[in-house]
Amino acid sequence: MTSTISGEIQFGIFFHGVNFTTIWHWPESGDQIDFESFRRFAQTAERGKFAAFFLGEGLRLREHLGRLHDLDVVGRPDAQTAEAALAAVTTRLGLVATQSTTYNDPADLAYRLASLNHLSQGRNAWNIVTTHNAWTGENFRRGGYVSYEDRYRHADSFVTAVKEIWRAGERGEPGLRYRDDFYDLDVRRTLPLVPGGRPVLFQAGDSPSGRDFAVRHADIIFSAHPEFGDATAFAADIEQRALRAGRAPGSVRPFPGSTFVVADSEKEAQDKWYEVRRAQITPQTAVAYLEQFWGRELQDFDPDGPLPDVDPVITDADVTRGSGFQANNTRKLIDAWRGQARDRGWSIREFVINHTNRGNDTNGFVGTPSSIADSLQRYAETGIVAGFNISPYLTPVGLDEIVNLLVPELQDRGIYPREYAGTTLREHLGLSEEVPG
């Protein structure tokens, strides 16, 4: 497979805000919403020549069993706004904001993205997600606004409209008429983009239709496939789909999320990994995680005992149960989990520790700078990923050891940039192709 920056990997930081990844109760833990945390992370990332600062989006606080997730209630700032603030305190770092095609408006979002493109001088990106559940829709008084089946048909229309609006801006036109099955727009509001620095398009969504959507529109896919074998299969699948869609070889590149635990010896790294995971998954967190899937109270089950032997509650009201719940798949999923936990002798807490470790049963990258660099070298040489979106477990100091210890090792091996390739995010990621469509 060809890669656009051959032999190199890039890093991004995925600042989660609040979820399982973040450890709250260690003395170094800072504030999730204070701008100081954003600034500290961003400037450390830039010191480490990271390509991008990535923010997800949650349009409604997650719930389960009719209650809000405890950790969610602190909220988090709007991604696009946070990235705009970061543009002012950084000079090279890319700025990626997740925004849903379902609960935005193409003309408005095109304008906001063009604005940040202009103000950041070509450093911004849009991570395109679809949101199909009526439960999120209630937050907007739209209910089940887009059906599951239509989510990507609608997203296609949305993104096509955005691109046309941008093109009108690039041509210096004041607006355009856009009409299809979903939209009938008479847009009179455009803004020129930075030449060559058009917002990069990321995509996150893993179904077959999500992948086909990605190869039609995106430059980069934020994936949940970091493990080498899985990443190889994912890259091959995406490449095939991309070629079928008429894209140039290597022009749509995966950028998986992953975690890194770096220490001076392998033993220290393993011990630290386990300490981090136990701090992330407290006994209460472990039980609450399973409750999302079981759809019922499980507080009577011992977190250090086996997985609950009671049946899950299957209802249609899946969406109020949070992002983890998978409707009709639940019973099958839970049976598989019980088998896995039994085979490995895992308690509830141990199961959740392993299962939520990037969701794919891998440990992320745990080791010394040199052993992690050995692993990363394979990715760099094969070009199966453009890079990794790193989720730090501590805010805002969680990138320090990566930037201080791992990055120099990668630079010495010639598999990580010593300097930014240019000034725009497109340049950092080696993207030159104008995405067709």
Please report, as ranges, the residues that interact with ligand FMN according to CB under 6 A.
Answer: 56-57, 98, 100, 129-131, 204-207, 210, 222-224
Identify the residue whose tokens are 């990332």: 45
Shortest distance in whole angstroms from residue 132 CB to ligand FMN: 7
Nearer of residues 178 and 293 to ligand FMN, judged by Cβ:
293
Among candidates 219, 244, 256, which has minimal Cα distance to 434? 219
Nearer of residues 218 and 269 to ligand FMN, judged by Cβ:
218
CB 389 within 8 A of CB 9: no
Q: Which residue's Cβ has the minimum distance to ligand FMN?
A: 210
Shortest distance in whole angstroms from residue 338 CB to ligand FMN: 25
Nearer of residues 222 and 379 to ligand FMN, judged by Cβ:
222
Burial label for 179, CB within 10 Å (0-12, 13-18, 19+), is exposed
Residues 6 or more apart whose Cβ sits within 8 Å of residue 326: 293, 318, 333
Q: Identity (one letter) of the amino acid at 349?
A: R
Residue 249 structure tokens: 């070889």
Q: For residues 110 and 184, what is the distance between their CA atoms, to the nearest angstrom?
A: 15
Shortest distance in whole angstroms from residue 218 CB to ligand FMN: 12
Nearer of residues 102 and 190 to ligand FMN, judged by Cβ:
102
Nearer of residues 98 and 357 to ligand FMN, judged by Cβ:
98
Nearer of residues 4 and 100 to ligand FMN, judged by Cβ:
100
Residues 6 or more apart whose Cβ sits within 8 Å of residue 207: none
Q: How many residues does the chain have?
A: 437
Nearer of residues 79 and 86 to ligand FMN, judged by Cβ:
79
Shortest distance in whole angstroms from residue 185 CB to ligand FMN: 23
CB 243 within 8 A of CB 263: no
Nearer of residues 223 and 292 to ligand FMN, judged by Cβ:
223
b/e 379-401 (16+ beta carbons within 10 angstroms → b): bbeebbbbbbbbbbbbbbbbbbb
Shortest distance in whole angstroms from residue 217 CB to ligand FMN: 13
Shortest distance in whole angstroms from residue 145 CB to ligand FMN: 13
In this structure, what are the phi and psi dihedrals at residue 314, rounded to the nearest 5 degrees?
-100, 120
Nearer of residues 55 and 410 to ligand FMN, judged by Cβ:
55
Residues 6 or more apart whose Cβ sits within 8 Å of residue 187: 107, 110, 165, 168, 175, 176, 177, 178
CA distances (Å), 127 to each of 157, 164, 214, 362, 363, in order? 16, 18, 11, 25, 25
Shortest distance in whole angstroms from residue 403 CB to ligand FMN: 23
Shortest distance in whole angstroms from residue 269 CB to ligand FMN: 25
Question: Which residues does residue 53 pair with via DSSP β-bridges, in sequence order?
Answer: 13, 95
CB 322 within 8 A of CB 69: yes
CB 133 within 8 A of CB 143: no
Q: For residues 393 and 274, what is the distance between their CA atoms, to the nearest angstrom?
A: 13
Shortest distance in whole angstroms from residue 209 CB to ligand FMN: 6
Q: For residues 133 and 148, what is the distance between their CA atoms, to the nearest angstrom?
A: 7
Q: For residues 252 and 235, what is the distance between their CA atoms, to the nearest angstrom?
A: 9
Shortest distance in whole angstroms from residue 136 CB to ligand FMN: 8
Nearer of residues 78 and 381 to ligand FMN, judged by Cβ:
78
- Asked, as a colleague might, if the bond just before 256 is cis with ω within 30 of 0, I would say no
Nearer of residues 79 and 298 to ligand FMN, judged by Cβ:
79
- Asked, as a colleague might, if the bond just before 27 is cis with ω within 30 of 0, I would say no
Shortest distance in whole angstroms from residue 104 CB to ligand FMN: 11
Question: Which residues does residue 202 pair with via DSSP β-bridges, in sequence order?
Answer: 127, 220
